[in-house]
Amino acid sequence: MLPHASTLDQPIQVVMPFQVDVGRFAKASLEWHFETGIANREVAFRLCDRISRKRRKLIKVILLQDLSGLTFSFAYSQYRLGSVQGKLSKISSFVYPQMLAQVVIVNAPSFINSIMRVASNFLSQKVMDKFRVCTSAEQACAAANLPYDLFPSFLGGGYDWDAAWIPEKLRNSGRQQAQERRISRHSRETEPIFGGGSSDVGSSSDLPFISEADIASGALPGEVGSEEEGAEGGG
């Protein structure tokens, strides 16, 4: 889960199976994929429920899906997972209703349209309508309601996210690319412009911070260790 929520207080769950451990992903049993899917949804639901109670408004999760490393041969060989996703979708509609805000896809392969057609055989139209395929970091930031400086650097943003589960090579690469982008942006913004003015990518100072402890406990920022309200996930 990204440590920062969106500008609409929405938690952002980052999924990048083909960047982290594609071998394990491919060899895992259908049962493992199903149980992992349920666990991920439960974490997201508890956090959304907690924030919803605190903010007194319905909060939904944004799923940020990175498809880097996905090949056509791999996608074809894993057609079996379609049944798992279909089952998870049906269960979610009853157990976790109104939880998913958007599915923001980044680094999509050239055959993404084929993937979407296959997915439509297992997922409801209501879910399919929430997919947003983005071709740039700017589009993804807009779709996820997230300022550029809080979008992960390894996905094209300016946030240096050093979570332990992210491969070191990927973190270092993202950090270097973010630095290069900052230098490029700075040089453009400091060039003389007729009429003055400068570009503004938005401020993140007013956005809530979500720590790993918050995610694990379901607590909101500033509430870790507090003993207020007992309900944690609801049923």
Which of 1-5, 21-25, 79-83, 126-130 comes out lowest in average pLDDT? 21-25
Q: Which of 73-87, 96-110, 168-182, 190-204 has the highest mean pLDDT?
A: 96-110
61: left (phi over 0), alpha (psi -120 to 50) or beta: beta
pLDDT-derived band at 209, boundaries 50, 70, 90: low
Q: Pseudo-torsion of CA 199, 134, 180, 153, nearest 10°?
A: 110
Whether the pLDDT of residue 115 is over 80: the answer is: yes
Contacts 24+ apart (CB under 8 A), 33-42: 33/81, 33/84, 34/84, 34/87, 34/88, 37/84, 37/85, 37/88, 38/88, 38/91, 40/13, 40/15, 41/88, 41/92, 41/95, 41/96, 41/99, 42/233
209 or 77, which is more confident? 77
pLDDT digits (tens, 9 = 90+) for 123-147: 888 889 999 999 999 999 999 999 9
pLDDT of residue 113: 92
Mean pLDDT, rounded, for 198-217: 53
Whether the pLDDT of residue 212 is over 80: the answer is: no
Degrees, nearest 5: CA angle 32-46-162: 70
Among the listed residues 40, 97, 101, 39, the one whose alpha carbon sits nearest the alpha carbon of residue 235: 97
Whether the pLDDT of residue 182 is over 70: the answer is: yes
Mean pLDDT, rounded, for 146-161: 91
pTM of the model: 0.71
Whether the pLDDT of residue 177 is over 60: the answer is: yes
Mean pLDDT of the chain: 80
pLDDT of residue 191: 63
pLDDT-derived band at 223, boundaries 50, 70, 90: very low
Whether the pLDDT of residue 216 is over 50: the answer is: yes
Q: Which of 3-12, 73-82, 85-94, 215-224 has the highest mean pLDDT?
A: 3-12
> Rounded to an integer, what distance in angstroms lies between the CA atom of residue 50 and that of residue 84?
28
DSSP string, 55-102: HTS---EEEEEE-TT--HHHHHHTTTHHHHHHHHHHHHHHHSTT-EEE
